[in-house]
C-alpha cells in the first residue's frame, strides 16, 4: 500500500502501543511477518538478522505462551535469548522497576521484551534504556503484537481489513488484547463492535476507535465477518463481576446457533488460552471457521518482523 | 547386528514407548549413541544435525536432571531449545493438554520432548502435532530414553545383553523406568527379575517381558550380572505402602553383603537421584562396580541419537 | 604490570576465592575484562572463544541478576548455556550436593557456575568434577567475580587501586561481597575501611586485609576515595540485629551530607539490588559520582574474561 513517490521508512525505536503506529507502519510489519510465516511453512530458516544480538525476555507476569513465542521468534533470527521470568527475582527483593531497567541496560542487550502488570510500566522502563523495548502486555493497557497478529490473521482469512465487520466479545474492561486489536483494526478501516456484560465494559471504548459497544451478543454478532472471543479470567467469576459461568456462557458464549447470526463465512478467533464451554463451544473452537491456531502461528511471525525492524538500533 | 542383505531403516515419527521399537531399532539407536558418547569423551562436537531446528522441552513434572540431559543433547547437535517447565503455565489457567499441543504445534517446532503425569498423555499429544514427539516420562507408563540408556550402559559394561541376568529392585509398581528398561532388555535377550515389597509390585509385570517377580531380594539378586536399584519416592514411606525407611533398607537395600550373592563381577546401577542409605549403601553407589554416573553420560548420548533420528521429519 | 623478563601465565582450574589469586592474576583478568567491555561499548562481538562449549549455571539460591550476567557473558563468547535454577530440582528430592556434582559432570560440561547457600559448598563440588568451576557466591564466604568487578570499576574510575582509601559500609558480617572485594583491593594496595553496626561486623575482618573496622560511619567515610554501600537484607531488620530501618538509615545510610565528609571526587558504589532510602539516598544513587550501573556492565565483562580463561581445560 505504499503511495507512489512516497518513500516509506519504519522509524520507531520501541514498540509500546498500537497508537504509535501509522497505517503504513502496520502494513509494513504485516507484509514482513507474512514473508516470515511463509518461509516457516516452507521449512526455511530466515536470514540471521539478529545474529550476535541479545534479546532479554523480562516477564513480570507469567505467560509461557507469549514468552515462548518471542523466544522462538528471536532464536529463529539467530539472537541469543535470556529468559527472565521475574516472579522470583530482584523485584521481590524490593528493587524498583527503574533500577531493574538500568541494571539490564548495563548488560547491553539489543532488545528487551517486557510484560508488566502495571499499565504504563513498559513505557516508563523504555525511557531508561538504550535498546529497543517491545511491550508484551502492560496491565490493561496494550499488547501491540497481539493486535498485529490478530490483524494479520484476519487479513489472511479475508484478504483485506478495510470495511470488515469485526465483533469482539468478552471481558473488554480488563483486556489489553481488545484495546490493541480494536485500535489496529480501526486504523486499517474495519468496523469494530465491542460486546460484553455491562460490568465488564469500559466507559471510554469509543476512544479506541470502536464503532459500537453493546451488551447484547445476539445484536453484536449480527452479520459479523469476524467474531473474536476473549478469555474470561476465571477469578472474575467469583466476585462482583459475574453471577456464574453457566449464565456467562448462555449470554456471551459462542455457540453454533449464535454463529448462524454472523455472516455465512464468518471467521472465529480467540487469543488463547481458551476456556472451552465458557467463552466458546468446543466444536466451534475446533471447527473449520476457526483460525485460532493460525493466530499462534502469525504470533511468531509478527514477533520476528518486529524484532527485525527494531533490533540493531542500540543507542 | 544388521542381517546381511537386509536393508535396515529407522522408520518412526515419534518415540513414545519401547514397545514400538524392534530389536534392530534399539541396536541402531545404541550404536549411534555410542558414537556420540565416544565423540564427547574425545572432546569433539558432533556434526550440527539439528542446526536451524527448534526443540521444545515441555515438562509438566519437574525434572531438572532429565530436562537438562535433553537440553544438552539438543544443543550439542546445534538445535535451538525452548525450555518450558509448565508448572506455572497456561495449564494452570485451565487450558487442556490438547490445546497446549495445538498451540505449540502452531509455533512450528521440529521436536517436542514431553514429560507428563498422566500415563498416555504424551501419546495423546503426539496425535495433534506435525513434529517428532519424544516421551520423557508419562505417568507410570513409559520412559523410553531411560530404557535405552540403561541398556546401552549394560552393553558397554558387559559387552552384550543376550543371556544376561538382570535384577531390578524397588518400587516396581510406580516405575516407568522399570517398565521401559525391562522391555528393552527382554527384547534384546536378557533375563529380567523384578523384585520389591508386595505392596509395590504390579500385577501384570510378566507382560513387560520379565522372567520373574519376587519379594525376596536375596533370592532375586542371586547370580545376577546386573543389579539395578530404583529410587524410592519418599512420599510412599508415610503411607500405606511401607512401614519405615529402616525396614525398607534392611529388606530391599543394596549392601556390600547382599551384593556378594550376585555374580562376582556384577554391575550396579541406579537411575538417580539416589537416596543413599535407603535403596543403596553409599559405599556401593561409589564403588568400582557402580556405573551410575555412566548412566547419566549415556543418557545424553542416547538423547542425541534419538533427536538426530527423529528430527527433520516435520510433516 | 608484568615484570620484564617474567613470563606470566594464568594457571588456575577453578575460580573459587580471591585468596587463590595473585596480584598478577587479578591484573590479567581485569585487563582482559576491560578489552571485552570496550568491545561491547563499540558494538562489537568478541571472538567465539567458547564456541562448542557448554556452561551450566547451577544456582541453589535465586539470583536473576548474577545468573543473567553469567548467561550473557557465556553466550557472547558463543557457549551453550544450560540454566539450572535448582529451587525445584533433584536437590529437593534429597539428592546430595556431591551426587548433583557427579551427575552434572557426567553430562560433560566445560564449566559450571555455582551459587550455593553453604560456605565452602562450591569448593566441595569442584573436587568432584573434571571441568572449570566458578564460584558465583557461596554462603557468607566468597563471591570472587563481584570482588573483581568492583576492583575493575574502581580502577576505571580512579586510574589505579594502589593507595586508594576505600570505605565499605553495611552488613559486613553476612557479606561475601565485602569479603571478596576487600581481599582483592587489599592485594592491589588499597586501604580498606569496613564499617557497620556492631551486631553486623565480623570478628576477624582484619584477616581479609582490611585496615580498619569501625562502627561510626562519619569517621569511616572521612577522606574516602571510594564509598561502597552494601545491600541490607531486609529480613535482618525484624530480628535481633537492628532496631529499625529509620535508625539504620540515620546511622549508616549514605546521604549527600555524609558524602561531603569523603574526598571531593569520591566514587559511590553499590553491588545491587539497592534499597533506596535505607542504605543510600536516591539522589546519591543516581548522582554523577555513582558508578553503580557501570558495576553491572563490568560484571558481564569480568565474567567473560573469567570464562575465557578457565574454559577449555576439561580434564
**A303 and A15 in contact (C-beta within 8 Å)?**
no
Mean pLDDT of B201-220: 93
Q: Which of A4-8, A133-137, B86-90 ranks highest by mean pLDDT?
A: A133-137
* A105/C275 touch (CB, cutoff 8 Å), yes or no: no
Q: Is B143 a catalytic residue?
A: yes
Alpha-carbon dihedral sign for residues C176, C181, C183, C184: positive
What interface predicted TM-score (ipTM) does this complex get?
0.91
Band (A234; pLDDT cuts 50, 70, 90): confident
- CA–CA–CA angle B122, B131, B176 (5° rounding): 25
Closest chain A C-alpha to C213 CA, distance in angstroms: 28
Measure in Å the smallest separation between the Cα of B98 and chain A Cα atoms: 11
- Whether B105 and chain A come into contact, CB under 8 Å, resolves to yes
A40 is catalytic: no
End-to-end C-alpha distance for chain A, whole angstroms: 31
Q: Residue B103 pLDDT more than 70?
A: yes
Is A258 labeled as ligand-binding?
A: no
| Residue whose C-alpha is closest to residue A54's, from C43, C136, B72 | C43
Using 50 as the pLDDT threshold, list the residues of chain C that sit under it. Answer: 1, 88-90
Q: Report the distance separating Cα B151 and Cα B299, nearest Å.
A: 10
Concerning whether B93 is annotated as a catalytic residue, the answer is yes
The per-residue pLDDT for C192 is: 98
Please name the residue ranges forming H helices in A55-120. Answer: 64-76, 97-106
Quick check: C171 and C200 in contact, CB under 8 A? Answer: yes
Are C99 and B294 in contact (CB < 8 Å)?
no
Q: What is the pLDDT of residue B70?
A: 98
Instruction: Answer yes or no: do B106 and A297 touch at CB < 8 A.
Output: yes
| Of the listed ranges A284-288, B273-277, C264-268, the one predicted with least confidence | B273-277
Neighbours of chain B (3+ CB pairs under 8 A): A, C
Numbered residues of the known binding site of B for carbamoyl phosphate: 65-66, 115, 143, 146, 272-273
C182: CB partners within 8 A, 6+ apart: C147, C168, C192, C194, C205, C208, C209, C210
**Longest CA–CA separation in chain C, Å:** 57
Phi/psi for B81 (5° steps) reads -120, 130
Does A143 qualify as catalytic in the annotation? yes
Mean pLDDT of chain A: 92
Q: Which residues of B touch A275 (CB under 8 A)?
A: 94
Dihedral sign from CA coordinates of A53, A58, A64, A65? negative
Q: Are C144 and C135 in contact (CB under 8 A)?
A: yes
pLDDT at A90: 47
Helix (H) or strand (E) holding B133: strand B132-138
Per-residue pLDDT tens over the stretch B10-41: 999 999 999 999 999 999 999 999 999 999 99
Task: Please tell me which residue in A23, A41, A44, A65 is annotated as part of the active site.
Answer: A65
Q: How far apart are alpha carbons C69 and C54 in whole angstroms?
A: 16
Mean pLDDT of B214-231: 97
**A-chain residues near C75 (CB < 8 A):** 54, 80, 82
Distance from CA of C212 to the nearest CA of A (A): 30
Contact B293 C88 (CB under 8 A): no
Whole-number Å distance between alpha carbons of A208 and A182: 6
Task: Kindly state the average pLDDT of the residues B85-106.
Answer: 74
| Confidence category of residue A165, pLDDT binned at 50, 70, 90 | very high
Nearest Cβ partner for C89 among B64, B69, B299:
B64
**B111 contact residues in A (CB cutoff 8 A):** none
Per the CB < 8 A criterion, the answer to whether B40 and B58 are in contact is no
Cβ–Cβ below 8 Å for C89 and B274 = no
- A144 annotated among ligand-binding-site residues: no
B255, containing H or E segment: none
What chain A holds in terms of domains, given with CATH numbers, is 18-142+297-310 (3.40.50.1370), 144-292 (3.40.50.1370)
Which residues in chain A are contacts of B94 at CB distance < 8 A? 234, 273, 275
Give catalytic status of residue C313 as yes or no: no
SS3 A80: strand
Residue C133 CB neighbour total at 10 angstroms: 24
Residue C80 in contact with partner chain B when CB distance is under 8 A: yes
What is the model's pLDDT at position B313?
62
| Residue B111 banded pLDDT, cuts 50, 70, 90 | very high
* Contact residues on chain A for B54, CB-CB shorter than 8 A: 72, 75-76
B93 vs C301: CA distance, rounded Å: 40
Average pLDDT for B281-293: 97
Which of the other chains make 3 or more beta carbon contacts under 8 angstroms with chain A? B, C
Closest-CA distance, B78 to chain A, in angstroms, reads: 12
Give the best residue of C60, C95, C100 to mutate against chain B (max B CB count within 10 A). Answer: C95
pLDDT at B87: 62
B273, B280, B300, best to mutate vs chain C, most C CBs in 10 Å: B273
What pLDDT was estimated at residue C90?
A: 47
C273: cis peptide before it, omega within 30°? yes
The answer to whether C201 faces chain A, any CB pair under 8 Å, is no
Higher pLDDT, B78 or B311: B78
The CB-side HSE value for A27 (13 A sphere, CA atoms) comes to: 15
CA–CA gap between residue A114 and residue A16 (Å, rounded):
10
Taking the Cβ of residue C98 and every Cβ of chain B, the question of whether any pair is shorter than 8 Å is answered with no
Residue C14 among known ligand-binding residues: no
In the prediction, which pLDDT does C313 show?
A: 62
Q: Would you say B295 and C103 are in contact if contact means Cβ atoms under 8 Å apart?
A: no
Q: How far is C81 from chain B (nearest CA, A)?
A: 9
User: Given an 8 Å threshold on Cβ–Cβ distance, is C84 in contact with B71?
Assistant: no
Confidence class for position B90, pLDDT limits 50, 70, 90? very low
The reply to whether residue A106 touches residue C274, judged by beta carbons under 8 angstroms, is no
Closest partner residue to C296 (CB to CB) among A86, A95, A103 is A103
| Cis preceding-peptide flag for A73 (omega within 30 of 0) | no
Share of chain B above pLDDT 90, in %: 80
Amino acid at each position: 500500500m505504499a503511495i507512489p513517490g512516497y518513500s516509506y521508512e519504519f522509524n520507531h525505536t520501541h514498540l509500546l502501543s498500537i497508537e504509535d503506529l501509522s497505517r503504513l507502519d502496520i502494513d509494513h510489519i504485516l507484509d514482513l511477518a507474512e514473508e516470515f510465516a511463509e518461509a516457516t511453512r516452507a521449512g526455511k530458516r530466515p536470514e540471521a538478522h539478529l545474529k550476535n544480538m541479545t534479546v532479554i525476555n523480562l516477564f513480570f507476569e507469567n505467560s509461557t505462551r507469549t514468552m515462548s513465542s518471542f523466544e522462538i521468534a528471536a532464536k529463529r533470527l539467530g539472537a541469543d535469548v535470556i529468559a527472565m521470568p521475574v516472579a522470583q527475582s530482584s523485584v521481590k527483593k524490593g528493587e524498583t522497576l527503574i533500577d531493574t531497567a538500568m541494571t539490564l541496560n548495563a548488560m547491553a542487550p539489543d532488545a528487551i521484551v517486557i510484560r508488566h502488570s502495571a499499565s504504563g510500566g513498559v513505557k516508563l522502563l523504555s525511557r531508561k534504556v538504550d535498546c529497543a523495548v517491545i511491550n508484551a502486555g502492560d496491565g490493561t493497557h496494550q499488547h501491540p503484537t497481539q493486535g498485529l497478529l490478530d490483524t494479520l490473521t484476519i487479513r489472511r482469512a479475508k484478504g483485506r481489513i478495510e470495511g470488515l465487520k469485526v465483533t469482539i466479545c468478552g471481558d473488554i474492561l480488563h483486556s489489553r488484547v481488545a484495546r490493541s486489536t480494536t485500535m489496529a483494526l480501526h486504523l486499517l478501516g474495519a468496523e469494530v463492535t465491542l460486546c460484553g456484560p455491562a460490568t465488564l465494559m469500559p466507559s471510554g471504548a469509543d476512544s479506541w476507535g470502536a464503532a459500537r459497544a453493546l451488551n447484547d451478543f445476539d445484536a453484536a454478532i449480527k452479520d459479523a465477518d469476524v467474531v473474536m472471543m476473549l478469555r474470561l479470567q476465571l477469578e472474575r467469576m467469583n466476585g462482583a463481576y459475574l453471577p456464574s459461568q453457566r449464565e456467562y456462557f448462555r449470554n456471551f458464549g459462542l455457540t453454533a446457533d449464535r454463529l448462524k447470526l454472523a455472516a455465512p463465512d464468518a471467521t472465529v478467533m480467540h487469543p488463547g488460552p481458551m476456556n472451552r464451554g465458557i467463552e466458546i463451544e468446543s466444536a466451534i473452537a475446533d471447527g473449520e471457521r476457526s483460525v485460532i491456531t493460525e493466530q499462534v502461528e502469525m504470533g511468531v511471525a509478527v514477533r520476528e518482523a518486529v524484532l527485525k525492524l527494531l533490533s540493531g538500533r542500540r543507542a
